A and B are shown apart, each in its own frame.
Chain A
Amino acid sequence: MATPKSRPRDGYPGRALALILVVTVGLVALMFGTGHTTPRLGIDLAGGTSITLTAKSDDPKAINKANMDTAVAIIQKRVNGMGVSEAEVQTQGNNTIIVNIPNGGDRQAAIDQVGTTAKLYFRPVLALAPTGVKATTPSASPSSSAGSGASPSASATGGASATPSSSASKAGRAVTDALKADPTASASASTAPSGSAAPSAAPSAAATPTTPADISAALTQGTVPAELQQQFAALDCSDQTKRLDYQTDAAKNTVACSYDGEQGIWYKFALGPVAVQGSDVSKAQAIIDTQRGAGWQVDLSFDDTGSKAFAATTGKLATQASPANQFAIVLDGKVVSHPYVSQSITGGSATISGSFSQTEAKGLANVLSYGALPLTFEQSDVSTVSAQLGGDQLQAGLIAGAIGLLLVVIYSLVYYRGLGLVSIAGLIVSAALTYAIMCLLGAGIGFALNLPAVCGAIVAIGITADSFIVYFERIRDEVREGAPLRPAVQRAWPRARRTILVSDFVSFLCAAVLYLVSVGKVQGFAFTLGLTTLLDIVVIFLFTKPLITLLARRKFFADGHKWSGLDPERLGARPPIRGSRRRTPATAAAKEA
């Protein structure tokens, strides 16, 4: 309390008050200004499905941040590929991934898809054909993108306008999208329909009468193996429900889909048996080739098994004619990329080059790495909450909070009278700050309010009120000692401050430790607790203390009006000159209040 002589003894409380009020009003204004007037609600309050995945691995070193991030990127792709909008995938802790899927998406498909181990295979391409060049009305599904006159077939009646692909998530979160075009190296003819289209035996008449005739069958390149013909002909990759993982057996031929981002068309592929397992990839990374100016490319290396298999396969493929000189990199049944091979690649490392953008290259490298991830994911917790139940829980939480607040307000008023008003004002400021910060954090860092977080906020009412009590009781102690109010307020502060800081530090430590080691629900709770503890300190320093200092100058409090809560007589203050009244210690039984 080194106070310069020029200052009044109790400082300038007005400044601190002005500061906190400006900050509070500013935050609230920002909240309204940005339109984020409600916190983002978690799955358990808004309804939806939340899936918790726990990474398991035989190799403990494999559970590291890089691998987890790769896994997140892949799972994100999977979920978004299913047309679920606004799904969130995030890591928590060191071995947990949480997938939140709001209501509306195909929840079951998501649950089934998410967290299954990635199946990454290299398969030789046998044939491919564009699909989705058909007469259809634009479907509402966000991920079905009809070809927009990409193929030269003149009979493409009414090429529907391309709807945005699923990966454009509404919330504007960056989504890596490796399901982009296959940049076949050096403009290979893989996507341009070659004139010598193999006279495919595929019946071009629609095999499934339910879908419109797919006229792209005529554009098939390569030879579809006999056993796949019917399936290949019927497969319409532009139909989201058909884009499944058809790989039943690694040793058999199969069909798959691939999206060509540049042309905005889905292609379908007939593929040979698995040549190389994705798990044989030991490393894949996106690098930029500055020497030859080839731009971004993906370098991958194989382990021993992979090297041998890859060398054999590429040797075979290099001798084939397009499109059979390509190998498809298939992830989860989708062809991610299908580069062609011009020579046998030995030595266990290869480069996939093409007109990649950085994102594409990174995405492909991610996919390839994931194939090598020695991680499997276990669905630890899948919970689905209907919007109804979520609403009920939120309502119950809010009602409980309001009643809890009311009880605290009543208690402070009854016990502290005039001072109680100060604590109520403090609680209001705390509440406003907490609410505004939660709303803004929701928009800023994606903080979602879940049920435990609501609990944390309610519990925090007690913590905040406790700080007031510590200070008030200190002041009253001083008044009991016979100090006039203004000095009492000043003298009580340093001690109350110490107690508040120490105990709040303990609370904050608790919240911080919980936040760092826990996942999911516990984390939401810890976050709220930590936030409110910090706000508690801010409010007591910048609001309660200055306010009391100001009030102490007022007659009502300074004279210890009997409703002020600081009535020296009621507090039993002794006159400053110590009387030598002998006190008699009463036994515990003497007075039971």
Chain B
Amino acid sequence: MSRFGNLGHRLYQGEVSFDFVGRRKLWYSISGAIVLLAAIGLAMGLHLGIEFKGGSVYTVTKPGLTVSQAQDSANKITHDSTALVQKTDKGAIKIQVSSEDKIPASTFIQELSTDLKVPANQINAQVVGPSWGHEISQKALLGLVIFMVLVTVYLAIAFEWRMAVAALVALIHDLLITIGVYALVGFEVTPGTVIGFLTILGYSLYDTVVVFDTVKENTRGITKQNKRTYSEAANAGLNQTLVRSINTTVVALLPVAALLFIGGGLLGAGTLNDISLALFIGLTAGAYSSICVATPLFAQLKEQQPEMKALAKRVAQRRAAEAKAAAEAPQDAEADGGDDDLPAGMVGQRNQPVSRSRSKGRPSGKH
């Protein structure tokens, strides 16, 4: 842990720095590939739970009951073999009957209970109308749209419109990835999953907002100097909050993971599992997107501003002048061998006395 703690410090000081913003093409292609995969998955269709198709689920818990026994009795009741019988982790038997069978739940429970010799009140049943899932999804979608509009307005006011756009793109990216994973892996989509999807909204943005906050701080008064371009400053901010982002994500994921692996493990599939699985995927995607998608995109948008373009020009001029000066004067012997061929956009000025920290993090008596 000490090395990690130390890393935090080195990141903060800019001694170690990952070039997130400069490598945006890499991130965009990774994200693009994942989103494309997700889209393919979606095209194949989602595995919708009973709530979305309509039908009924009966859960019977009886020691020694086998799937085939349950299947036999279910077939007897439905007079065909359409009932889907599964064993859950806890030794319970789940029988799914589609709504086309038109057998009232009461009848089904009665017959099951006599056939399998289980008291009727020990049989859990869920009967869902075919339009219920549609209803839930519609409401969820409505919530999603309202939330996106509101949050965009809010972020545009609290930060600026470019941040709002970048955050929104990251958010949609997270949702797409999560839904795509569901489609590809074939996890069942239930109302619980929908809840999970919706929660990702808040969380994904939470992460992004924490990062943006630092970026905003780091780039204050950026146009008053000519040492760093906007992207570089943003990247420095990103590196400073890297540990924070990692920590907040890990801490948020821990309880979710507990829910997923422990709650789910104890119970077999259930609402707990549905919610936590969607959250787990979404949070992971959210952590990645706040660093690798939202911030680079935001920096890119910022760089379009005339004053930022002018800044980039000035920085380039200055560096060219410095390079010329360095070529004339003998190279500083202490320079790292490894950074002669640094890519453009690398943070940290070489052969510069430290002056970065003058205006950073030291409020000059403003508070």
Q: Known A452-B271, A509-B151; judge A583-B13 contact (CB<8 A).
A: yes
Q: Which of B109, B202, B247 contacts A510 (CB 8 A)?
A: B202
Residue of A103, A381, A399, A571 most packed against chain B (CB within 10 A): A381
Interface size on B, residues (CB 8 A): 109
Complex: A173 Cα to B346 Cα, angstroms: 68
CB pair A480 B252 closer than 8 Å: no
Residues of B close to A462: CB separation below 8 A: 251-256
Q: Establish whether residues A584 and B254, one from each chain, have CB atoms under 8 Å apart when the complex forms.
A: no
Considering only residues 226-261 of chain B, those with a C-beta below 8 Å from chain A are: 240-241, 243-244, 247-248, 250-259
Binds B, one of A183-191, A385-393, A434-442: A385-393
| Chain B contacts for A44, CB-based, 8 A | 271
Contact present for B124 and A386 (CB under 8 Å): yes
- In the complex the two chains form, is A459's CB within 8 Å of B106's CB? no
Q: With contacts A379-B129, A572-B6, A587-B338 known, is A393 near B271, CB below 8 A?
A: yes
Interface centre among B13, B252, B263, B335 (most CB of A within 10 A): B263
Contacts across chains A and B counted by CB atoms under 8 Å: 316
- Among B173-181, B315-323, B353-361, the stretch in contact with A: B353-361
* Alpha-carbon separation in the docked complex, A525 to B256 (Å): 14
Contact flags B62-92 to A (C-beta < 8 A → 1, else 0): 0000000000000000000000000000100
A151 CB → nearest B CB, Å: 37
Q: A-side binding surface: helix, strand, loop or mixed?
A: helix
The answer for the CA separation of A382 and B270 in the assembled complex, in Å, is 16
> A404 and B247: CB pair below 8 A?
no
Is B41's CB within 8 Å of the partner chain A?
A: no
- Is B114's CB within 8 Å of the partner chain A? no
Interface assignment of A407: CB less than 8 Å from any CB of chain B: yes
| Interface residue? A321 (CB, 8 A) | no
Give the complex CA separation of A503 and B154 in angstroms: 11
Is A289 in the interface zone, CB < 8 Å from B?
A: no
Q: B327 → chain A, closest Cβ, in Å?
A: 19
A61 within 8 A of B: no
Nearest-neighbour CB distance to chain B for A35, whole angstroms, equals 29
Known: A470-B244, A586-B17. A521 touches B195 (CB 8 A): yes
Q: Pick out which of these stretches binds chain A: B203-211, B292-300, B302-310.
A: B203-211
Q: Is B256 a contact partner of A459 (Cβ separation < 8 A)?
A: yes
From A382, which residue of chain B is reached at the shortest CB distance?
B127
Residues from chain A with Cβ under 8 Å of B17 in the complex: 585-586, 588
Which of B126, B192, B195 contacts A384, CB < 8 Å?
A: B126
Contact in complex: B127, A381 (CB < 8 Å):
yes
Q: A585 with B14: in contact, given A382-B125, A578-B357 (CB under 8 Å)?
A: yes
Interface residue? A518 (CB, 8 A):
yes
Q: Determine which residue in B18, B90, B121, B353 has the highest number of CB atoms from chain A within 10 A of its CB, and name it.
A: B121
Asked if A385 contacts B15 (CB within 8 A), the reply is no
A551-593 vs B, CB cutoff 8 Å, 1 = contact: the mask equals 0000000000000000000111000001111111111101101
Determine whether the beta carbon of B354 is less than 8 Å from that of A582.
yes
Produce 1/0 per residue, B255-275, CB < 8 A to A.
111110011001100111001
A414 at the interface (CB under 8 A from B): yes
In the complex, whether B136 has a CB less than 8 A from a CB of chain A is yes
A495–B352 Cα distance when bound, in Å, is: 29
- How far, in Å, is A435 (CB) from chain B's closest CB? 16
**Are A593 and B4 in contact (CB-based, < 8 A)?**
yes
A201 interface residue (CB < 8 Å to B)? no
- Interface residue from A378, A401, A451, A511 paired with B202 (Cβ < 8 Å): A511
A400 engages B251 (CB within 8 Å): no
For window 355-382 of A, CB contacts with B under 8 Å fall at 378-382
Closest A-chain residue to B255, C-beta based?
A: A404
Task: Kindly state whether residue A166 has any CB partner on chain B within 8 Å.
Answer: no
Name the residue on A nearest B150 (C-beta). A509
From residue A112, how far is it (CB to closest CB) to chain B in Å? Answer: 7
Q: With A506-B202, A578-B357, A580-B354 known to touch, is A403 a contact of B154 (CB < 8 Å)?
A: no
Contact B266 A54 (CB under 8 A): no
Q: Bound complex: CA of A400 vs CA of B319, how far in Å?
A: 55
Cα–Cα, bound, A511→B275 (Å): 15
Q: How far is the CA of A579 from the CA of B241 in the complex (A)?
A: 24
Complex Cα gap A379–B241 (Å) = 50
Q: Are B347 and A585 in contact (CB under 8 A)?
A: yes
Q: Is B5 on the interface with A (CB-CB < 8 A)?
A: yes
| A 446-480 contacts with B by CB, 8 A | 451-452, 454-456, 458-459, 461-463, 465-466, 469-470, 473, 476-478, 480
Given contacts A403-B258, A455-B259, 4 further A-B contacts (CB under 8 A): A108-B105, A494-B367, A502-B213, A582-B354
Footprint of A on B, CB under 8 Å?
1-10, 12-19, 51, 59, 61, 90, 105-106, 109, 121-129, 131-132, 135-136, 139-140, 142-143, 146-147, 150-151, 154-155, 158, 191-192, 194-195, 198-199, 201-203, 205-206, 209-210, 213, 217, 240-241, 243-244, 247-248, 250-259, 262-263, 266-267, 270-272, 275-276, 279, 334-336, 338-339, 342, 346-348, 350-354, 357, 361-363, 367
- Residue pairs across A and B with Cβ atoms less than 8 A apart, 12 shown, are A54-B131, A103-B121, A379-B129, A380-B128, A382-B127, A393-B270, A456-B199, A506-B206, A510-B151, A514-B143, A578-B354, A588-B19
